Structures are given as structure tokens and as C-alpha cells.
Amino acid sequence: MISKGASFFAVGLATGLLIATCAFALLVRTQDARQSDAGGAVTVLKLAHGLDEQHPVHRAMVYMNELLQEKSGGTVHIDIYPSGQLGSETECIEQLQRGSIDMTKTSTAPLESFTPEMAVFGVPYLFRDEEHFWKVLDGEIGDELLRSGEASGMHGLCYYDAGARSFYTVDRPILKPSDLDRLKIRVQESDTAMTMVETLGGQPTPMEFGELFTSLQQGVVDGAENNPPSFHTTRHSEVCKHYSLDEHTRVPDMLLFSQEKWQQLSPQVQQWVQEAADASSIRQRELWKQKTAESLAAVEAEGVTIYRPDKTPFAEAVQPMHAQYAGTQIGELMRRISEVE
């Protein structure tokens, strides 16, 4: 026989369950209503990178976000964390692989440790000029390299122009390779960048981009190398008064999506993201040209002397590096690139 106490307990439990069920149903309905007011569930993508907000690459990604919001009717948008807020490029690549961020924009230099094929961009004077470089990137080889990170969890979306890299120094200009003698030059976290500076006679010092300003100021390094917009937007030009346009490498920037997260997106969202990235890459090339000219004029106005040294002695000095890398797994890629007309 069921006691009175037990039946009170059963009624109490049933009432409690009923109330909880109603409250849950109400909550779900409220959430649904909120979502449909906004035109469906909102997907927020997290993108981290190391450049300044004035940098043309950042501005191109802001444009990509605008396009994506337009295409998706506001249901997909990107939260962009610039200026190394979420860590160095290497740290962002690792976060991308773990899936703790959805997207990152990185130079291909630190990608070398994850995707060995990327080393090809670090071989100095492999590209004859800007036209040759874009012919390669816009063609079959560029596509292959964009996809080469998939095995290590990185889905390539597009390239951004990062121009050509050249040396800048605090005290004395680099007009010929021997001027690098014993100079400590900051390089990216990349084997090819280390080898290049060593081959030219300098002392390569790998360091995160975000630490470089203070290191230049404090004399930890004597110089570095980069493209004009990066030289200017980082204010390295306040410390380094000599900029020698020897244009040794063309190391592009790449926009990557976490492979794991990419596979979780619907084909429709994947298409919107890819289209927005492609359009931003085209826009970025225009922004780049403009900003490069502006940056060169601005640093000159700030008292930086710009030199245009003869590139031949630099190109000749790095020939041993070409021979060394021709024997590695990027040898075939180097050969194919040099054959692109």
C-alpha cells in the first residue's frame, strides 16, 4: 500500500517536472524567436593575425567580413583579432590546428615548419619579378600550395600580396652583401630566412614580429627585413633610418581556415566564405600598391634614406642556397617555378 507521504511526494515530483518542462519549452521558444528575428542562427568566425589595423591586409579582411555578412544576410560574420592579440603567427597556426580559432592570416614563412612545401617562398630571387610571382600564385602551383596544408589541418582560402622583403638597419645601409657582415638581423621563424641571412654573411636572429620594435630600439638586433607597408605600420622606421630595396624574397601572406571547422560548415556557408575571401584577395592587391607607395613616401618624410642597390651581387651570393635547396623536397617545385614563363 502506498502511504500518504509517498503520494504527496509523487504529486510534488510530477508538478515539479511539469513546471521544469514548461520552463524549458518556453526557453527554447524564446531562443528560436531570437534566432529567427535575426534571420536564422548566427555563425561567428574567429580570425586572428599579427598585423596592424592600418595594414592593407587587415583592411582587405575587414572588407571580406562585410561581403560575407551581405552574402549571408547577416547570419555569418567574422570577429577579427589583429596585432597579435591572440599570439604570434606560429601560435595562431597551432590554435587553428586545435580548432580554438577558425581562421588565421599568416605569412607563409612560419608555415614552413608545418607544411615543408612553403619553404619555396623563402628561396631568395627564385621569382624573377612581381609578374612572375603572380603568374605562379594564380596558376596550378599556387593552387597546389594553397591545398598543401590540408594534411596538417589547414584549409587555404587565398593569398594576400606581401610584396618583396628588403633589409632595413639602424646604423648603416646594406648596399652589398658584405655590408651584412656580423650584423644581427631579425628573421621570421623560418629555416629559409635563417639560411638566407647566414649565406649573405649576417647573423640571423629569429624573433616574433611583435617583439621586434623593442629589440631594434634596445639594440638586441641591428636590423630586419620586410616590405614597405609593414616597415611603416610597425613604426620600425622610427628606429631604422636605412632601407635598402634589394627585394630578396617574395613571401606571400595566406588566409587559412581550420580544416576541422571548415568541414563543419554547410556547403552554402563554405561557398560564401570562399567567395568573400577571393574578392578580398583581389581588393587587397589594389590596396597593396597604394599603401606601398604611400609607405615609401611616408618613411622618407620621417628621415629614412631609401637605397636601390644593384640586386645582382645579392642574387649571386645566395646561389649556394639555391644549390642546397635544389637537393631537398622543394627542389622539383623550384624547378617548376623557374620554368613558368
| Residues contributing to the site for ligand GCU (CB under 6 A) | 50-51, 89, 106-107, 162, 188, 209, 226, 230, 253
- Residue 36 has a CB neighbour count (10 Å cut-off) of 10
Q: H/E element holding 166? A: strand 165-169
The nearer residue to ligand GCU, 95 or 226, going by C-beta atoms, is 226
What is the nearest approach in angstroms of ligand GCU to the Cβ of residue 318? 19
Give the full edge-to-edge strand order of the sheet including 103-107.
76-81, 43-48, 103-107, 253-258, 154-160
> From CA 169, how far away is CA 175, in angstroms rounded?
11
- Of 50 and 309, which has the nearer Cβ to ligand GCU? 50
First to last CA, the chain: 95
199 versus 226: smaller Cβ distance to ligand GCU: 226
Helix axes 130-137, 140-147, angle to 10 degrees: 60
Question: Closer CB to ligand GCU, residue 50 or residue 142?
Answer: 50
**Nearest alpha-carbon partner for 111 in 191, 227, 45, 210:** 191
Residue 19 burial class via C-beta count within 10 angstroms: exposed 0-12, middle 13-18, buried 19 and up: exposed
Residue with Cβ nearer ligand GCU (75 or 106): 106
User: Does an H or E element contain 154, and which?
Assistant: strand 154-160
The nearer residue to ligand GCU, 56 or 309, going by C-beta atoms, is 56
